Amino acid sequence: MTGITEAPRLTPAARRVLDVATELFYTRGINTVGMELVAERAGVTKKTIYDRFGSKQRLVVAYLRARDARWRDFLAAHQDPDASPRARIGATFEALDAWMRQENQRGCAMVNAYAELSDPEHPGRAVAEEQKGWLRDLYTDLARECGATAPGTLGSVLAMLHEGAVVARNVTGRPTPP
Amino acid sequence: MTGITEAPRLTPAARRVLDVATELFYTRGINTVGMELVAERAGVTKKTIYDRFGSKQRLVVAYLRARDARWRDFLAAHQDPDASPRARIGATFEALDAWMRQENQRGCAMVNAYAELSDPEHPGRAVAEEQKGWLRDLYTDLARECGATAPGTLGSVLAMLHEGAVVARNVTGRPTPP
DNA sequence: TTGTGAGTATACCGACCGGTGTGTTTACGT
DNA sequence: ACGTAAACACACCGGTCGGTATACTCACAA
């Protein structure tokens, strides 16, 4: 059941590269971080990066997948599968709050990537789209379990609140979670 | 009462530069658009741009202010100041829907700029922060006029829904406005 | 008439970008 | 003991970045 995000069996150096890239791309932005800086911070030559990842585009995709996987794991760890659907919705927002408090100082990585990767062909955009679809489906399923009359609508609204909360916390101060 | 956004009295060439930059920065992203391209598309030399705007940083700030002013004008044109507060909240969301349908294919310019300008010192970030604060105040005032028990909370929630709707429309398909 | 501000044309700067090629060293499994 | 994969060092590529310098034209106003 771990087949959603494949495990690409990274070499030790590739692992370091991905970790460093994840940190740098998120905090400084994808376009402002060059491959040379990634190589230097990972204690690796550019050659090694290109041998392992092929191109910056693919490294970016790997970065986005890694961020997404980390968030899903985080959420799963903060969820009690046996709790009521209503409680699980609340727990999701609480997990988001905790997530932002500790690992998220620059907003949503997917939204940021979508802003930076203006080329519609960039495969990173598809990762972000998939992630947002997943999030909406998550809330829609919870709404359905709650017995909502229009689970699709409620799920979308919850997802929008989720997204808006991230933006609000990022660009302004504290939000007020309901 | 037009003193919120100053009118900088642009020369004809500067006007063209700002229009072109507004279009390019929004559709392709700030960091991926070079000054040379802006100059070419505006039918102007780089020298002229640097004579009028001084630096790319300042041109970016002018771009963000122009976008913000356009949105506020658009919203004001779609608002009936004599309508009930409740109707004006609805009208705001309808204006947002119309705005996104016709001029907004790449999400919120302020959020995108915030993603691209990772340097906390960049003055463009302050423009985005101010704009988001203004939006939240707008909803908070409307909530207060509605007689809400906690206008600040309701205003923040409405602003979050607003923001989330923009993200949803941008990265996924149609949203479902309440 | 004579400035002056606006704009043009062109060449240039150092720095950095993503990406490649060649060859060498290290570590591990067989 | 040997082969292979991983990582190394280093030099190089064409191209673009933001920004500057010099010198010229043009329109308009005092």
- First-to-last CA distance in chain A? 33
Confidence (pLDDT) at A23:
95
Provide the residue range defining the domain that includes A21.
9-54
With beta carbons less than 8 A apart as the criterion, state whether B178 and B128 touch: no
Alpha-carbon gap: A122 to the closest alpha carbon of chain B (Å): 13
- From chain A residues 119-178, the ones with a CB under 8 A of any chain B CB are 128-129, 132-133, 136, 152-153, 156-157, 159-165, 167-168, 170-172, 175-176, 178
A107-116 average pLDDT score? 96
**Other Cβ atoms within 10 Å of A136 Cβ, number:** 22
* Residue A55 Cβ < 7 Å to strand C: yes
Residue B159 lies in a domain: yes
Residues A93 and A113 in one domain: yes
Do A137 and A68 fall into the same domain?
yes
Q: Which nucleotide is nearest to B33 (CA to C1')?
A: D17
**Is B98 within the bounds of a domain?**
yes
Residues A93 and A136 reside in one and the same domain: yes
Which residue carries 């809330």 as its tokens? A139
Residues A46 and A96 in one domain: no
Residue B3, pLDDT > 80, answer: no
Does A112 contact chain B (CB < 8 Å)? yes
| A and B: number of Cβ contacts within 8 A | 122
pLDDT at B157 over 90: yes
Any domain includes B60: yes
The answer as to whether B19 is a domain residue is: yes
Contacts (Cβ under 8 Å, ≥6 apart) of A147: none
User: What residue in B sits closest to A128 (Cα-Cα)?
Assistant: B171
With bands split at pLDDT 50, 70 and 90, how would you rate the model's confidence at A172? confident
CATH assignment at residue B77? 1.10.357.10
State the pLDDT at residue B175: 55
Rg (CA), chain B: 18
Assigned domain for B39 exists = yes
Q: Is residue A2 part of a domain?
A: no
Contact B27 A171 (CB under 8 A): no
d(CA A90, CA B54) in angstroms, rounded, equals: 50
- Of the ranges A19-23, B10-14, B52-56, B85-89, which one carries the lowest mean pLDDT score? B10-14
Residue A4: inside a domain: no
Give the tens place of pLDDT for each residue, B87-137.
999 999 999 999 999 887 899 999 999 999 999 999 999 999 999 999 999
Could you say which nucleotides of strand D lie within 7 A of any protein CB atom?
6-11, 16-23
Same domain, A45 and A68: no
The full length of chain A comes to 178
Answer whether A24's CB lies under 8 Å from A41's CB.
yes
If one counts the domains in chain A, the total is 2
* pLDDT tens digits along A53-71: 999 999 999 999 999 999 9
Residues A40 and A70 in one domain: no
> Does strand D come within 7 Å of the CB of A8?
no
pLDDT value at residue A2 = 36
Q: Note whether residue B61 is domain-resident.
A: yes
Q: Are residues A107 and A154 in the same domain?
A: yes
Quote the longest CA-to-CA distance of chain A. 57
Q: What is the CATH number of the domain that holds A44?
A: 1.10.10.60
Q: Do B167 and A170 touch (CB under 8 A)?
A: no
On whether both A125 and A163 belong to a single domain, the answer is yes
Same domain, A142 and A100: yes
A111–B29 C-beta distance less than 8 A:
no
Please tell me whether residues A65 and A25 are part of one structural domain: no
Contact between the CB of A45 and strand D at under 7 Å: yes
The residue behind tokens 């659907």 is A85
Average pLDDT, chain B: 91
